[in-house]
Amino acid sequence: MYLQIVEQVRHAIASGAARAGDELPSVRALASEHLINPNTVARAYLELEREGLLSKRRGAGTYVSDSAAALSQRHRLRVVGALLDEALAAAAEFGLTSQQVDALWEKHFQSKKEQPV
């Protein structure tokens, strides 16, 4: 559950759903909402704070840090890179040539041109 919280917060920041300065739910509130031990939430928040994604303000709560945008860019690249690795592995498994993969990429990329990539 701890890793799920970490990944969900990373994803929220990377996708823009959580922005610098946004307050996160308190440890107790999140633990109560998910019926988990508060130490699990505290551990997740601590890891995210060590990564520089969150900052604690004494007596005021936990917030998305100002440096989160730059750090989340690395997370986005890592996630998309992993997905591309999986897609390329599948293409190789199915025996597609690099030309076929390039054609698929162009077809899908062009169809999404109007949408943010």
CA distances from 40 to 8, 63, 70, 97 (A): 14, 18, 26, 46
CATH of the domain at 89: 1.10.10.10
Given this model, what pLDDT does residue 26 score? 93
Question: pLDDT tens digits, the chain, 117 residues: what are they?
Answer: 889 999 999 889 888 899 999 999 999 999 999 999 999 999 999 999 998 899 998 888 999 998 887 777 777 788 889 999 999 999 999 999 999 999 998 888 887 766 655
Take residue 40 and report the two structure tokens written for it: 């699990």
Q: What residues make up the domain containing 37?
A: 1-117
Given this model, what pLDDT does residue 1 score? 87
Take residue 96 and report the two structure tokens written for it: 């597609």
Q: Is 41 exposed, middle or buried (0-12, 13-18, 19+ CB in 10 A)?
A: buried
If one counts the domains in the chain, the total is 1
Given this model, what pLDDT does residue 116 score? 59
Prediction pTM value: 0.66
Beta carbons within 10 angstroms of residue 108's beta carbon: 9
Q: Rounded CA gap, 103 and 109, in Å?
A: 10
